[in-house]
Structure formats: C-alpha cells, structure tokens
Amino acid sequence: MSLLEIKNLKTYFFTTKGIVRAVDDVSLSLNKGEILGLAGESGCGKSTLAYSIIRLIPPPGKIVSGKILFEGEDILSYTEEEFRSKIRMKKISMIFQGALHGLTPVYTVGYQLLEVFKYHSDIEETKAKEIITETVKLVGLDPTILRRYPHELSGGQKQRIMICMSILLKPPLVIADEPTTALDVVVQAQILNLLKELQAKFNMSMILITHDLSIIAELADKVAIMYAGKIVEYANSMDLYKDPLHPYTQKLIRSIPRLKEDISKLEFIPGLPPDLRNPPSGCRFHPRCPFAMEICKKVEPELVEIKPNHFVACHLYTK
C-alpha cells in the first residue's frame, strides 16, 4: 500500500475574475521512504497541490473533487478538527519557506516550536521541551537559539528551525515548499545535506516542491513535472533526467546553466505560462511547444505509461 495516493485532485480558486483551475485533475502516489520532486515554473499549481494535501488552501480556494488517501484513509473526508489533531504536523507536515515568512516575528523561536505540540498533540509541556531540545540539535543548531526571536537568526538558521518544526512529531510525510529559496549556495548545500541525513535516519517520505531541477536531482527518487495545473511527465529521477520525454521537461533541463561547462547559448522556453482561468484548448503547452501538431490544439493528451514507470502526457508518444 502506498503511503500517499492522490486521485484526480482538483483545486480551484473561485475569484471575482473567474475560476482559476490551479490543480486540474492530478494523480500521483508516494511510497514510504520515497522522495517525490514536484517541479514546475511559478504558477503551475505545485504549491497549491502541496497546500491541498495539508489542507491549508486559503479562500477563495477549494478542493473541488478527487481523493487523497493517506495510509489507506481518505483524509479529505476528515473534519477540520480531525485533520488538525490527527494529521497535520503529526502525520503530514510542511516546511514552509522559512527564510522568508514561516515564522512570526513576535514570539521566540522556542515558543513557536512549542505551539506545534499545543495544537497538534497531547504531549505535555516538559516532555515537549525535551523533544524540542533534541530535535534542535538534530538540525545542527544550539538549543540557546530557542530564546531568540526570528529576526536575530540568519536565513540558514531560520530554515533549519522550519525543518525542526516539521519533524517534531516525527511525521511519516514531510512536504518541503522551496526549502532553499533565498539561501546562499553554501547554506543551501548544508540544508540539502541535512534533509538527506534526516530522510535516511527516519525513513521519511518527502514531497519536495521547487522550480529548480538541480535541487530535485540532489534529493528525489521520483519526479513529477507540472504545467498549468496538470502533470505532464512523471518518472523515476534517473529516467527523467537521462531521457526526458515531454518537450517541456526537455526545455526545462536545457535551460539550466551548467557550472562546469562552457555553453554558448542557453535554451529557453519562449512565451509565458497560460492564464489558468482560461487555459489553451487541447494540450495546454501547445502554444509554446516546438513540436505542436494539429491534434495538440484540440485534444488534451492523457498521462500514459510510455516506458516502465515513465509516464508522459504528450501526443508525440500516443499515436
């Protein structure tokens, strides 16, 4: 049984200017101990997907349809009270973009970590403080940091605190939303090493969300590429990088500047991601696709298994 199974999830935002179909019929699964990388440009729906799993979609957003099965249970059917006490932070937690806005400036770091226990578990305060101290050391920080306020911390320290927060209750699934944005490259490498260590130590499952395919390569076992609310390619990390099938994936990989090579010209994807209130007909990528055919403008391609465990939604492969 998979740890997490998402089936045909749709999360829409009902705005005054139209319905934004942020997550539009997405299915994927994750096994225990696996790391799934969810990649795509800004606005493709990856964060919305993450927030849907942990049920923190702000209005006017709503999960419209679909199923989310966690350890076999349909957690979408839980009430908010049930979800908060049984699932959030306990079974599924999230590492927010801490360096930017995951911590409130008015409380000490220690206080904010304690809140996790207050709202999501029955563990009493003394024991909670012990766990906090242990976990803070685990993420490479000195427990004296607990008395500090967020503004006294560096970007790297804040991100470590966010990671600490997400593993306090030892949840089997952690969702990391752009965990290294705004961090310097050496600190980023340290954070990625930390995530690898923790994952190995606790056999944590993770969903790593980022637009940066280099970071995904460092951590993920499986990768899902999202475009305009849909998954366009889904494969094992090795297969995806060695043999990307979808034209969008190919372009994404080729647009990354390489440190050790002198490239004369970087490839990029012309145009912009579509307006999710009114996405293009047929395949949503067709206006920007170098291989677009007639059928691409009319019929939306389905996510089909082209090679073992390698799925792609593209008419180039389904004839």
Closer to other proteins by Cβ: residue 100 or 299: 100
CB of 262 to other proteins, least distance (A): 6
Closer to other proteins by Cβ: residue 82 or 275: 275
* Residues touching other proteins, count (CB under 8 A): 51
CA neighbor of 247 nearest in space, from 265, 225, 272: 225
CB of 261 to other proteins, least distance (A): 8
Closer to other proteins by Cβ: residue 68 or 187: 187
Residues in region 159-218 near other proteins by CB under 8 A: 184-190, 192-193, 196-197, 211-218
Indicate whether 1 belongs to the interface with other proteins (CB under 8 A): no
Indicate whether 265 belongs to the interface with other proteins (CB under 8 A): yes
Q: Which residues contact 51 (CB under 8 A, 6 or more apart)?
A: 57
CB of 237 to other proteins, least distance (A): 4
Indicate whether 101 belongs to the interface with other proteins (CB under 8 A): no
**Structure tokens, 292:** 């677009």
CA neighbor of 150 nearest in space, from 162, 134, 138: 162
Closer to other proteins by Cβ: residue 251 or 315: 251
What does the DSSP assignment read for 23-44?
EEEEEEEE-TT-EEEEE--TTS
Closer to other proteins by Cβ: residue 43 or 63: 43
- With CB under 8 A as the contact rule, the residue among 15, 73, 147, 266 that binds other proteins is 266
CB of 101 to other proteins, least distance (A): 14
Spatial strand order of the sheet with 18-30 comes to 18-30, 4-15, 61-70, 73-74
**85-103 burial string, b = 16+ CB within 10 Å, else e?**
bebbbbbbbbbbbbbeebb
Q: What distance in Å separates the CA atoms of residue 246 and residue 243, rounded to the nearest whole number?
A: 9
CB of 34 to other proteins, least distance (A): 12
Fill in the DSSP letter of residue 300. Answer: P
User: C-alpha angle with apex 7: 274 to 167, nearest 5 degrees?
Assistant: 90
Closer to other proteins by Cβ: residue 89 or 139: 139
- With CB under 8 A as the contact rule, the residue among 100, 272, 293, 304 that binds other proteins is 272
Contact in structure between 225 and 234 (CB atoms under 8 Å):
yes
Identify each DSSP E strand in 96-246 by its residue range: 173-177, 205-210, 222-227, 230-236
Q: What distance in Å separates the CA atoms of residue 283 and residue 299, rounded to the nearest whole number?
A: 6
Residues in region 102-131 near other proteins by CB under 8 A: none
- With CB under 8 A as the contact rule, the residue among 241, 287, 292, 317 that binds other proteins is 241
User: C-alpha angle with apex 155: 153 to 158, nearest 5 degrees?
Assistant: 60
Mark residues 47-76: x for contact with other proteins by CB under 8 A, - for none: ------------------------------
Q: Which stretch binds other proteins (CB under 8 A): 114-122, 143-151, 268-276, 298-306?
A: 268-276
CB of 206 to other proteins, least distance (A): 12
Q: Which residues contact 236 (CB under 8 A, 6 or more apart)?
A: 221, 222, 223, 309, 310
Indicate whether 242 belongs to the interface with other proteins (CB under 8 A): yes
Q: What distance in Å separates the CA atoms of residue 47 and residue 209, rounded to the nearest whole number?
A: 7
Chain contacts with other proteins (rule: CB under 8 A): 41-42, 154-157, 184-190, 192-193, 196-197, 211-221, 237-238, 240-242, 251-253, 255-260, 262-263, 265-270, 272
